Structure 1
Amino acid sequence: MSLANTVPHMGGDIDPRKFRDVLGQFCTGLTVVTSMTDGAPTGFTCQSFSSLSLDPPLVVLCPSKSSTTWPRIRNSGRFCINILADHHETLSDRFAVSGGDKFTDIEFGSSPNGSPLLPDALAWLDCTLHAEYDGGDHSIVVGRVHALDAVSDSRPLLFHRGRYARTAEQ
């Protein structure tokens, strides 16, 4: 059977709402990308994150071009990706909004490159900016991983159909 016989023709524009709804069927994990910029901690929630390469060790993340935080992190040239645990909904919400001091009342550690490590993260990856590409209304950022660790055995915080989700109890 040929794919040409099973895939419908995709003519015309794609409705943005339908696009979001369809892609919302794909469950993703959640991260907070952090850095020190101008001597202060900064960060943003990012669900578009994936491994890219083992040799060299590369990851990819896709911040929105409307982000006011990513340009500051880009200028620092280094960042830490904190993978969130299932009890981090409030933390994810806090870092998903623009403006304000997102680190108020958060005690954080420091990664080897000096970026904030969030408390009780499942894992973290310390990166430098390797490359950045245009991706429509997002940027495609490639980070070179220099250090990493898995530090918790909690379950991940997930995002599915526009809301938080969790893995089943085992």
Structure 2
Amino acid sequence: MNTSSPRDGSREVDPVQFRLALSQFATGVTVITTRLADGSFRGLTASSFNSVSLKPPLVLWSLGEGANSMPVFSGNSHYVINVLAAGQAELAERFSRRSANPFADTDYELSRTGQPILKGVAAWFECHNRSRYPEGDHVIFVGEVEECAVHPQPALIFHHGRFGSTQEC
């Protein structure tokens, strides 16, 4: 059931103020990874990760509709959400840039379905690409978790334009 409706408001939100307000909310940092049909890997940094449901186990994340990786993640059946550990800010930066192959100097292992799981992460979730919902200028991906693991350690967070750690909490 969709309960949303377009707003008829004539007042525009100042985009600078909106981004500043959003920066006040600390988020976790993830790298979403997947394997293509040709065997190559793709990945991107995302802070738009959240839980949806325990039964069934569902999580969500979002991606800008104009992102180069949109066809990859829309078309693949599985992906892994890697929750970065406190010392992995460099990985977050590497996967946020357009580079030839961010996996080149990255340690990873393969999941049971062949998806890349980054080594040293605080947790990971292997997901079936269950559904997608376009909203605004993004697409919300809902993944059904098929397998997950946790490696207890402080997680990487992003707040006010900087990386930090849950260890500081």
Q: What SS does the aligned partner of 1:13 have?
A: coil
Deviation of 1:167 after TM superposition, in Å, equals 2.8
Matched length: 160
Counterpart in 2 of 1:143?
143
Matched residue type, 1:29: G
Matched residue type, 2:77: G
Could you say what the CA RMSD is over the residues aligned between the two structures, in angstroms? Answer: 1.5
- Segments of 5+ residues of structure 2 without an aligned counterpart are 1-8
Q: How does 1:55-74 map to 2 (within 5 A)?
A: 55-74=55-74
Conserved? CA contact 1:112–1:147, under 8 Å? no
Q: Are residue 94 (structure 1) and residue 94 (structure 2) matched? A: yes
Deviation of 1:168 after TM superposition, in Å, equals 4.1
Matched residue type, 1:19: F
Conserved? CA contact 2:124–2:149, under 8 Å? yes
Counterpart in 1 of 2:11?
12
Counterpart in 2 of 1:41?
41
1:25-76 deviation per Cα after TM superposition (whole angstroms, max 9, x unaligned): 1100000000101211110001000000111111010111222123212212
Instruction: Name the % identity.
Output: 36
Larger radius of gyration: 1
1:111-143 deviation per Cα after TM superposition (whole angstroms, max 9, x unaligned): 122110101011110001111011211111100
- Segments of 5+ residues of structure 1 without an aligned counterpart are 1-9
Deviation of 1:24 after TM superposition, in Å, equals 1.0
Q: What SS does the aligned partner of 2:166 have?
A: coil
Conserved? CA contact 1:68–1:98, under 8 Å? no
Distance 1:134 1:53 in 2: 20
When residues 86 and 77 of structure 1 are mapped into structure 2, their CA distance, relative to the original with a 3 A threshold, is: same
When residues 25 and 169 of structure 1 are mapped into structure 2, their CA distance, relative to the original with a 3 A threshold, is: closer
After superposing on structure 2, the runs of 4+ consecutive aligned residues of structure 1 that deviate more than 3 Å are: none
Q: What SS does the aligned partner of 1:127 have?
A: strand
Counterpart in 2 of 1:6?
none
